[in-house]
Structure 1
Amino acid sequence: MELLIKGGRVIDPANGVDQIADVYIENGVIKAVGNSTGEAASKQVQVIDATGKLVIPGLIDIHCHLREPGGEAKETIAAGTRAAARGGFTAVCAMPNTNPVCDSQTGVEFLKARAQATGSVRVYPIGAITKGSSGQELAEMADMAACGAVAFSDDGKPVPRSDIMRLAMSYAQMVGKVIISHCEDPELAKDGVMHEGYWSTVLGLRGIPAAAEEIMVAREILLAESVGAPVHIAHVSTAGSVELIRQARQRGVDVTGEVCPHHLALTDRAVEGFDTSTKVNPPLRADKDREALKQGLKEGVLTILATDHAPHTAEEKAREYNYAPFGISGLETAWPLYWKELIETGCLTVNELVAMLTVNPARRLGLAGGTLTVGSPADVTVIDTERKETVTLEGWQSKGRNTPFVGWTLQSWPVTTIVGGRVVMIDRQLVQG
C-alpha cells in the first residue's frame, strides 16, 4: 500500500527534524520525507491530510500488560493492541506476568504467534527474570533472547534476592538485553494499598512508604554499577528515586527510568473517594513526588514515558479498596495526559515529549522504529493537538475499563495510527481487517 501524509508538522527527534512536510510510505517503509507529492503523483495512493497536525514516529510503550495467556477475562492481545492503536501506539512491550509466566522460549513464541494472528500493533515480548517470577532461579534468558525477548523483568513482583538479581544483570548483559526492575521492598510494602502519608492516615488505609521503592532502586543501581550492566527502573514514582537515578547517571551508571501518566496526573489525594481505579502499584504519591518526576523529566534524568497499562475486570475492581487489584488501564489516555501535564505546563517541549515515547524507548531496548528515517518501518502517529475530548468508555477498546480519568476533558489526541504502512486507526476509529 502507498500512503501520502500531507502537510503536517513532521517531528522526528532521532534525526533532528521539525518541519512542515509530507511523509510518503511505500511497501511498508518510509520512502520520503519532504515534498514527495511529485513522486507520488503518478501512483494510486491513499492521501491523509495532516494539515495543522503533528506527524511523528509511532509511539512505543515499553511497559504494558496484555494478560494473555491466562488472564483473558482482563485483557487479550487482540483487545490490548486495539487499545494501543487507539492511543496512538504502534508498538508495545508485553510484561511476562501472565499465567503461565512467560519464562521460556515457548512462552515467547506463543506471544509472538498470537500477536501475529490477532494483534493490531507490534508486540515485543519481555521475558521473566526468574522461573515463574518466583525470584529464586534464573529463567532461560539466553533461549528467550534468541527467539525474540527484548528485555527481562519480573514486573508485578520484585526480585528479592540480590544475588539472583546480580546474576541476572550479568546474563542479560551477555545476551545484549536490559533488566527492567520493579522496585519494591516486599516487607516494607506488605499489605499496603496506597502511599504512606497524610491521606493514608486520614483514610485509615495501610500505606506503602516511599522507602519501599527507593531501597530497591538503590540496590539495582549498585548492582548494575558493580557488574557494569544496564538497568531500567520501571514506573518511577518518588522524589527519592529520582535523586538516586540522578546521582547514578552523574557517576556514569547505565541506568534509565520511566514515568507513567497516572503518577503525573494524580496524587494520593485522589484515593479520598475510595475509587479503586486509583489503586495502582507503585501507588499514587504525594505532590512533592509528582513535582520531582516532572523535574526529573525536564532535566533529562528520566528519559522514557510508559503506560504500565494494567487492565482488570469490573468485578475485580468493584471490591472493597483493600481487596481490589492494583492497576490502571492506560493505553487509550496516555498521550493527552502527558500533553496536559508536560506540555500545557511548560515542563517539556513537544520534541522532548515525542522523543520520550519514540526514539528513547526504541534505543533503550534495541527496537525497530522510533524514527521516520527513510527506509525504516512505516510506523507513524498523527496527533491533532487542538482536538478536545471528554474521556468516556464509549468506544473504549481495552477489556479493562479501570480508569480514573472518565469525565476528564483533555486536549491533544491521536487521530491516525499507521503500523508497517497499514492504517489501523483513522479519525479516532479503528480500521477492521
Structure 2
Amino acid sequence: MKTLIQNARLNDQLVNILIQDGKIAAIEPGLTTPADQIFDAHHHQVIPGLVDVHVHFRDPGLTYKETIATGSKASAHGGFTTVFAMPNVKPVVDTPEAFENMLVKNREDGVIKIKQYAAISGDLTADHLTDIRKMAELGAIAFTNDGHGVQTADTMYQAMQMAAAVNRPIIAHVEDDSLIHGGVMNAGPAADRLGLPGMSSLSESAQLARDLVLAYATGCHYHVAHISTKESVELVRMAKARGMHVTAEVSPHHLLLDDAMIEMDNPMMKMNPPLRSPEDRAALIAGLLDGTIDMVATDHAPHSADEKRGSMKTASFGIVGIETAFSLIYTHFVKSGLVDLDTALRWMVTNPINAFNLTDAGQLRVGDAADLAIMDLDHAFEIDAAEFLSKGKNSPFIGDTVYGKTIATFVDGKQVY
C-alpha cells in the first residue's frame, strides 16, 4: 500500500511524503510516484503525530462518559497518534488479567496507538502492591494510581523499588489527602470570594517532596503528573539539578487559566489539581520554557453533562482536552511569538517519546512509522463542542478563537481522521 501526501508545508518548503507499508519512505519537494492513495495537503503544515501521556478513556465500566473508540477518535481529531491510558476504569487495571483485557480492548477498539498504564496498588488506594513485574512483562508502559495520591510512604517506596527493578517509571498523582479538607478549588482569595472550600497547594507539594526523597533513594524514573504549583516546579528543578531521573508534565488548562479567572461557581473550571494562583501559573510557564517541565499532557477527563452541572461543590473534577490541546498551545505559545513550532512539538512529541522510550511512535523521518497530522495554522476557528468526537463536552475553552485545526491524521500510514 502506497500513499502520497502532496503539497505539505515542512520547514518553510512544500514537500511530498511517500508512505509505503505504514512507514515514511521519502520526504522530498516535487516527489512523484504511482500511489494507491493521494492526499493533497493544500499547503497546510505537516507535523509528527502528537503524543499524550495522560488520558482517561473510561472504558470499561464508565462508558457513558467515554469509550476507547470515541476517545481514540477524539485523539485523532486532535492530531494525536499515541496516547497513554490511565488505569482508573472499572474494574481497575490492577491485575495481570485486567491488564491483558485492556490490551485487547485497546487494540480492537482504538484507531490510534494506545499505551496502557497499570495501577501501583490494589484498587488505586490499597497499601498492597500490584504484580508490577508481571504487568511490566505484559507491556505496561508505567505504573500509576492516577486520581489518588499514594498516601503511605512505604507503599510508594516499595513501588519505586519494584519499578526500578523492571525499568518502568512511576507516574505520580501527588496529593496528600490530609491536606485537602474537602476543597473543590484552589485555596486563596478566589475561593474566599466565591464562598467555596479551598484545596491547599501544600496537598501537592508536600507529597511531592516526600516522593522525591524516595525516588532519590531508589533511583527509579519518577514522573510528576499534572504539576500545578510554584513550589512543585521548584522541587522538580532542584531534583533535576541533583541529577535525578525526574520528568514532569503540565496540562494546557494549568498553563492558560488560573483561579483569578473563576468569576462564579462554574463547574467547567473544576479540575484536580485545581486551577492555582496567577503566581503558580507564571511559574508553570517559566518551568516549561526552561525545561524543568518536560512535556504538555492533557489529562483528558470526559464527564457527562449532568456530572458537570450545578455547583463546583458537587460537580465532578476534570475537563476534556485531547481535541483542543494543540490549537491552544499553538495559539498561545507559538502564534503569540513566545516559542517556535519546533519547541511546541518537543513538548508534545519528542520529549514524551524520549522520556518513555517509545520505539513505535513516528517522528516524521524517513524510515519511521507514518504517524503524522496535517494542520491548518493559518485560519482562525472557534472551539465548538458540537465538533468534538469525544462523548465529553466539558471544556472551559468552548467558544475560544484559536489557530491550528486538524485537517487529517495518519497512524502507521492509515488515515484515521
Q: Do the aligned residues in 2 keep the contact of 1:362 with 1:370 (CA within 8 Å)?
A: no
Measure, in 2, the Cα distance between the counterparts of 1:19 and 1:303.
Answer: 29
- Cα offset, 1:6, TM superposition: 2.6
Structure 1 unaligned segments of length 5 or more: list them: 12-17, 426-433
CA 1:341–1:189: 2 relative to 1, 3 Å: farther
1:143 aligns with 2:134: yes
In the other structure, the counterpart of 2:219 is 228
1:25 match? 19
Q: Which residue of 2 aligns with 1:315?
A: 306
Matched position secondary structure for 1:272: coil
In 2, Cα distance between equivalents of 1:419 and 1:387: 25
Superposition deviation, residue 36 in structure 1: 7.0
Partner of 1:288: 279
4+ residue runs over 6 A deviation: none
Q: Percent identity?
A: 39
Of 62, 66, 88, which residue of structure 2 is paired with 1:71?
62
Residue 422 of structure 1 is matched in structure 2 by 414
Q: How much does 1:23 deviate?
A: 2.1
Partner deviation per Cα, 1:124-176 (whole Å, 9 max, x = no partner) = 11000001112401111111111121011000000011111111111112112
Alignment-derived partner of residue 129 in structure 1: 120
Instruction: Give the letter for the 1:203 counterpart.
Output: L
Q: TM-score, normalised by structure 1?
A: 0.93
- Alpha-carbon distance change, 254 to 36 in structure 1, aligned in 2, over 3 angstroms: farther
- Per the TM alignment, residue 370 of structure 1 is displaced from its structure 2 partner at its CA by 4.4
CA distance in 2, matches of 1:137, 1:78: 32
Give, in angstroms, the shift of residue 179 of structure 1: 0.5
TM-align CA RMSD? 1.6
Amino acid at match of 1:138: L
8 Å CA contact retained: 1:271, 1:279: no
CA distance in 2, matches of 1:372, 1:206: 47
Task: Specify the alignment match of 2:349 in structure 1.
Answer: 358
What are the equivalent positions in structure 2 for 1:189-338 lying under 5 Å apart? 189-338=180-329
- Would the alpha carbon gap of residues 19 and 167 (structure 1) be closer, same or farther in structure 2, given more than 3 Å must change? farther
Query: What's the counterpart of residue 392 of structure 1?
Result: 384
Letter matched to residue 375 of structure 1: G
| TM-score calculated relative to the size of structure 2 | 0.96
Question: 1:254: how far off?
Answer: 0.8
Structure 1, residues 375-402: CA drift from partner, whole Å, max 9, x if none? 2211111111112211112221111111
Following the alignment from structure 1 to structure 2, what is the Cα–Cα distance between the partners of residues 347 and 251?
29
Query: 5+ unaligned residues in a row in structure 2: which ranges?
Result: none
Amino acid of the residue matched to residue 382 of structure 2?
T
**Structure 2 counterpart of 1:189, which letter?**
I
The number of aligned residues is 416
Is contact 2:362–2:370 with CA below 8 Å preserved after alignment?
A: no
SS at match of 2:247: strand
**For residue 32 of structure 1, what is the amino acid of its counterpart?**
A
1: CA distance, partners of 2:399 / 2:365: 38
